[in-house]
A and B are shown apart, each in its own frame.
Chain A
Amino acid sequence: MDWIFIASHVGDYVGGAWVTLRFGLYGVLCSLALGMLCCLARYFRVPVLRQIAVGYIELARNTPLLVQLFFLYAGLPRVGIRFSAEACAVIGLTFLGGAYMAEAFRSGLEAVDKAQVEAGACIGLTRRQNIRYVIFPQALATAVPALFANVIFLIKETSVFSVLAMMDLMNVADTLRTSGGRTVEVLFMLVAAYLIILLPVSVIATMVERRLRYAGFGDQHSV
């Protein structure tokens, strides 16, 4: 292992990690918003929007991000719809992630016991209050592990951004590998960089999940 080579290229990887993390984060935030919208459209049975949401979720969940990116970045400009590489990255990741987040939210909503909703109605809560104080808090608590799993999944998926000629971690490593020939060092740093990014996310996820377990009630199992 050539530590001098490694030390002299740490800066490149920090730059790459920043791109990975930044666009991963944009993608995650937009996915959460889109996922929530789709989930609400389905939950409240909004006409038209609901069907669009269902169709979109199926489409996004059943195609690879790599193919989606090729279509966005190399296909659409040919019919006059042009986005920058960065925009493609965020749009692509949001397209994919929104569907996964929507499913996570939905599983949370479905897990709320019917008795809870009825009990809420019984003590005189309006439908709006019932949703605000009874259904949503419980649904969100149940959905959190799935949501965090999606966050990690989406950050991992950013590794294909290199096809958009973005200097993310993968592309930094690829450039160094082809120019320097120090394959082992280059790959070692790549693995280390992804670990450094994803370990904290996983630790936070565990902490939040443990905290939310207090939200379990009475005889219900904590999930």
Chain B
Amino acid sequence: MQDLGISILFKGINFQRLMGGLWVTLRLALITIGLSCLFGLLFGVLMLSKKRVAKVFCRVWLEIVRFMPQLVLLYLVYFGFARLFGWDLDGETSAVMVFTFWGTAEMGDLIRGALTSIPLHQTESAAALGLKKGQVYLYVLIPQTLRRYVLIPQTLRRLLPQAINLSTRIIKTTALVKMINVTEVLKVGQQIIGQFYRQPDAAFWVYFVIFLLYFLVCWPFSLLAKQLEKRWA
């Protein structure tokens, strides 16, 4: 009598191995989210610049990100950069570069939206007080955008759910590193299936559990975003 395929997940350290694989993508996602928030803030401010060059630059960046599948961008960096510039980047570095490139533009667009929702009189009052442009952003607009601060909690209310949604998208997208030879959860799953090739339904259970794991990671974020949206609407 053969056991159910799911039992192989609890043989030896198989489950720990899967979790280790999941952590590889999650770590990449966390680094990406962090960097995207940071650069996205700069990008968002840059998008509001009145300078033509800056506008075109942001526009082109955003359009590239909108049009190119993330997998294509991954290939460009992972395979293309080695050829073009002789940079031999490993999979994880390429992934962080690509996903940050993407996340920065998307996060920047959200931040631009939040910044423009701050009433104009805030900027004008600050200018009337004699603040320089940089100071206006640093002391007036950005704090209001990021924090639930003094006058305008609406900006944060608008930004935060969207930023959380973007973060779950980033977590889901990091699964793509499988395609550039990073040993992440799907790859570990394949290794486990290979070891237990005598167990016919091993593949079913392994992929089912990976599916569930991703769901369990992303779902709480989605719920949180939805909750915040509902409460702050």
A: residues with CB less than 8 A from B are 58-59, 61-64, 66-68, 70-71, 74-79, 152, 156-160, 162-163, 170, 173-174, 177, 183-184, 187, 190-191, 194-195, 198-199, 202
Q: Is B150 an interface residue (CB 8 A)?
A: no
Contact B208 A191, beta carbon cutoff 8 Å: no
Q: Which residues of chain B have C-beta atoms less than 8 A from A79's C-beta?
A: 201, 204
- 17 more A-B residue pairs beyond the given contacts A62-B172, A63-B211, with a C-beta to C-beta distance below 8 A: A58-B222, A61-B218, A62-B168, A63-B172, A63-B214, A64-B172, A64-B173, A67-B214, A70-B210, A74-B207, A78-B202, A78-B203, A160-B71, A183-B79, A184-B84, A191-B72, A202-B66
Contact for A62 among B66, B84, B215, CB less than 8 A? B215
CB <8 Å contact, B218 and A63 = yes
Can you show 14 pairs from A to B with CB atoms below 8 A apart? A58-B222, A61-B218, A62-B218, A67-B214, A70-B210, A75-B208, A159-B70, A160-B176, A162-B179, A163-B179, A187-B72, A191-B76, A194-B72, A202-B66
Does the CB pair B67–A170 fall under 8 Å? no
Q: Which 9 A-B pairs have the closest CB atoms?
A: A75-B207, A62-B218, A159-B69, A64-B175, A156-B69, A64-B172, A71-B207, A78-B204, A159-B71
Give every chain A residue within 8 A of B84 (Cβ-Cβ).
184
**In the bound complex, what is the Cα–Cα distance between A157 and B71 (angstroms)?**
9
With A63-B172, A64-B173, A195-B67: A173-B207 Cβ-Cβ less than 8 Å: no
Given A152-B66, A159-B69, A187-B76 in contact, is the A62-B210 Cβ separation under 8 Å?
A: no
**Is the Cβ of B215 less than 8 Å from the Cβ of A59?**
yes
How far is A162 from B203 in the complex, measured between Cα atoms in Å?
A: 19
- B residues near A202, Cβ cutoff 8 Å: 66-67
Task: Find chain A residues with CB under 8 A from B211 CB.
Answer: 63, 67-68, 71
What does the 1/0 interface line of B47-80 toward A look like (CB < 8 Å)? 0000000000000000000111111100110011
Chain B interfacial positions (CB closer than 8 Å to A):
5, 66-72, 75-76, 79-80, 82-84, 168, 172-173, 175-176, 178-179, 186, 189, 200-208, 210-211, 214-215, 218-219, 222
Q: Across the A-B interface, how many residue pairs have beta carbons closer than 8 Å? A: 110
A173 to B80, CA, bound (A): 12
Chain A, interface SS category: helix
B200 A173 Cβ-Cβ under 8 A: no
A183 CB contacts on chain B under 8 angstroms = 79-80, 82-83
Q: How far is the CB of B117 from chain A (nearest CB, A)?
A: 13
Q: Which residue of B lies closest to A186 (CB)?
A: B79
Which chain A positions have C-beta within 8 A of B186?
66-67, 70
Known: A58-B222, A64-B172, A160-B176. A74 touches B69 (CB 8 A): no
Which residues of the partner chain B approach A70 to less than 8 Å between Cβ atoms?
186, 189, 207, 210
